[in-house]
Chains A and B, each alone.
Chain A
């Protein structure tokens, strides 16, 4: 997180002046990609709001980013393999609901409840994966169905109302030593796992091959269907973790939680430089994408911008980020 505190070294002119700012911002992003965009955004927020650049607020940003980031890591796997997963928000809510229901309502040991929640996430992913790989459904449709099914099951299990989350698991939403939020730690841990999977495991390298050219991957002996099962199962697993972290922060599992988060997750992945047509993407980029969204929301809150206008700003940032990334790639080529 320390790099957030640094002022970018390449700042050619102080921002703030209408004229030079746009060009400076564009230049910073063009040179450094998503990271440049994040740093530029941090500088802008720091200038506009005195409260932004203090340690406590930055950790708040981290907490706000954590759930989106963890979901987005899972979605990165899917997008790298040229798929899409719209179900992660629902699956997160379902997994959290299952944990709470098993521990609180059924009195199962907490560790079993958590394993059950994670297993439900994996199972949801396997179903989506099977529909895509064996049922030949477009990923958009298969996961759209799972979005509805997951949300529905969460409502059925909970009867539509929140269930208290077991206290031991709720510690995941705590703050260590009075300053270090656990969700940020979980986010970093899941990010490292995602980075390792993408860069160094068979599953990860197969994702890039399938996303880059599915037929070439198949003709090189990669079992594309089985790989897709694994990819969507991983996405479901990450969604389950995100759901548990979210419920821990709220200390209750809410069946309606994380609605629409799938779109934030996809936005984070794309802002982070992955291509929706597959074959490219990085865990670090996805983390930066999630942080950009969180910094923007946090900053606009500090500036008392209305929630309605925040949505407009978020949309503009998504469009701008991907536009600049496209320009950057073109200029590199």
Chain B
């Protein structure tokens, strides 16, 4: 990792996993998995949720230990690459420290950063350079951090508190931290799940650079199109087994077949009634002013002059860059956040502002983007989660009809094919796809007529995605309407009847299903309000998404720096 062994073609073997097996009570998570990683390659690990990817990488990072099988790693002394390949040695990775010593760094989906500390402090957390007196050498730390940040092309000061960074930049800080560990093996768990396409391109640039310098990268993604763009080899996991290893150039259909063990006839099975019905939702002139900047400068609106309608039986896609204001519009419509001007009408009747219960009575439902943080009560039962939105409906004479709730919840869980041990199982223990089905099921139990889906398939495997798409079909067939926010362009294009595109808080345009192409949508999405294109520039601060605990304020954070 010191850059000595540039241009190793083909690469030497860095890491090998042989016949690794791991069981948890009741589940065999891994069953004889093989994997090998060479220097200077991006090895994609592909599989549905629950296929064993997380268990495998946790094993490599010291969180789990294998029941059977071996993990072999090239000796560290050889890591500098003096050209004489040494035999791999079997290792036992008992802790994160062991993994670190072996040069294995892991970037999880949930970042391991301390929000209150600065970028430099986070990068060197626990390994701060010391002065002769044993105090932390801030100058050295800052200088080394700055060098690392330059390497990942992150243009922030090492003294910036991590809490001020958007999610894309947090990712880069994590990578800088991995670099500071002189990692030879870098494991990245779905690094692109929450990035916009521009940010993904930046990330790919950095990954390619690392690959060029001889790092071996294990890359987990659900986005099949990324595999061909970035990967060298693909190992497919299914039900805890490594089913095949194929070149990254393998076609998407073949990859899907390997992953799910069957052919998925169509990734986006769109079916719609012949003609949409009457307008269900009508939004007019919806505007929310931004909060004033620190220097008293008037801030850009969070969203402004939003006009659109959704008809019964229709799926309307809402596309745009992360931070364009899509989520904020959805939350305003549903009454979660305030808006300053405009109206929201359901069936021609105006909704009271900022009143979730009124929105629900009118037939609205919202599946929020942050499934775990906003959609579910993770440590409550599936029964409680499914019936949460209809609690008052189930209350008669002061008492909740628990038996009736159980009956309703069981019916909807069956309809959605939720894979669970029973309704008393806690939501936390379900896979992502099944968790999302629970959040959607909550709204099926409340006579919802217009369902707003915010990133409905983020982090969900292909099989569950198709099930959710089929559910959208069933909803529209029953005369319901869907407003779908998604950053997954193929999904928006594949499922929507019309696509609305937002850019910087405004509706940049509308495309009919027939005219909507990735290029057309992106062209609208990067257009600024005055019509100029902003292509080719790195994501500006107001596109940074900050996943803080105060949703609704995320859109324009950092707009005054």
Binding site for B on A (CB under 8 A): 196, 199-202, 204-206, 208-209, 212-213, 215-223, 279-280
Contacts and interface: CB of A to CB of B under 8 A. Distances in A.
B376 A200 contact: no
B329 interface: no
Contact of A279 (B356, B379, B389, B392): B379
A208 to B, nearest CB: 6
Contacts of A219: 334, 336, 356, 366, 368, 374-375
Given A202-B392, A209-B388, 12 more contacts: A199-B402, A200-B402, A201-B398, A202-B391, A202-B398, A206-B391, A213-B373, A215-B373, A216-B374, A219-B366, A220-B388, A279-B379
B547 to A, nearest CB: 13
Contacts of B511: none
Contacts of A196: 399
Contacts of A209: 377, 380, 384, 388, 391
Contacts, number: 72
Contacts of B356: 218-219, 221
A208 B384 contact: yes
Interface in B446-497: none
Contacts of B442: 220
B179 to A, nearest CB: 35
B378 interface: yes
B391 A205 contact: yes
A231 B419 CA distance: 35
A223 B380 contact: no
B395 A201 contact: yes
Interface residues of B toward A: which range? 20 to 34
A221 B379 contact: no
A220 B389 contact: yes
Contacts of B377: 208-209, 212-213, 216-217, 279
Interface of B: 334, 336, 356-357, 360, 366, 368, 373-380, 384, 388-389, 391-392, 395, 398-400, 402, 442, 551
Nearest to B358: A221
Contacts of B395: 201-202
A222 B388 contact: yes
Contacts of A199: 402
What are the nearest 3 A-B pairs in CB distance? A212-B377, A220-B389, A220-B388
Nearest to A211: B377
B389 A221 contact: yes
Nearest to B361: A221
A215 B400 contact: no
6 contacts: A205-B391, A206-B391, A216-B374, A216-B377, A219-B336, A279-B380
Nearest to A206: B391
Contact of B388 (A204, A216, A223): A216
B384 A201 contact: no
Contacts of B379: 212, 279-280
Nearest to A278: B379
Given A205-B384, A209-B384, A209-B388, A216 B400 contact: no
A221 B398 CA distance: 18
Contacts of A279: 377, 379-380
A211 to B, nearest CB: 9
A314 B375 CA distance: 40
A202 B334 CA distance: 22
A290 B384 CA distance: 28
B64 to A, nearest CB: 15
A196 B356 CA distance: 28
Contacts of A213: 373-374, 376-378
A331 to B, nearest CB: 11
A127 B373 CA distance: 29
B14 to A, nearest CB: 35
Nearest to B335: A221
Most buried by B among A208, A213, A221, A279: A221
A196 B374 CA distance: 28
A209 B377 CA distance: 6
Contact of B374 (A205, A215, A280): A215
A215 B336 CA distance: 10
Contacts of A215: 373-374, 551
Contacts of A200: 399-400, 402
A223 B389 CA distance: 11
Contacts of A216: 373-377, 388
Contacts of B400: 200-202, 204-205
A306 B357 CA distance: 57
A76 B399 CA distance: 19
Nearest to B398: A201
A302 to B, nearest CB: 40
Nearest to B551: A215
B374 A223 contact: no
Given A216-B374, A216-B375, A221 B380 contact: no
Name the residue in A199, A205, A208, A209 with the highest tally of chain B Cβ atoms < 10 Å from its Cβ.
Answer: A205
A220 B389 CA distance: 5
A174 B449 CA distance: 59
A279 B399 CA distance: 20
Contacts of B391: 202, 205-206, 209, 220, 222
Contacts of A220: 388-389, 391, 442
Nearest to B401: A200
A268 B377 CA distance: 25
A279 B380 CA distance: 7
Given A201-B395, A208-B380, A213-B376, A218 B389 contact: no
A200 B402 CA distance: 7
Nearest to B376: A216
A274 B360 CA distance: 32
A82 to B, nearest CB: 11
A221 B336 contact: no
A61 to B, nearest CB: 33
Given A208-B384, A215-B551, A216-B375, A223 B368 contact: no
A287 B191 CA distance: 48
Nearest to A223: B357
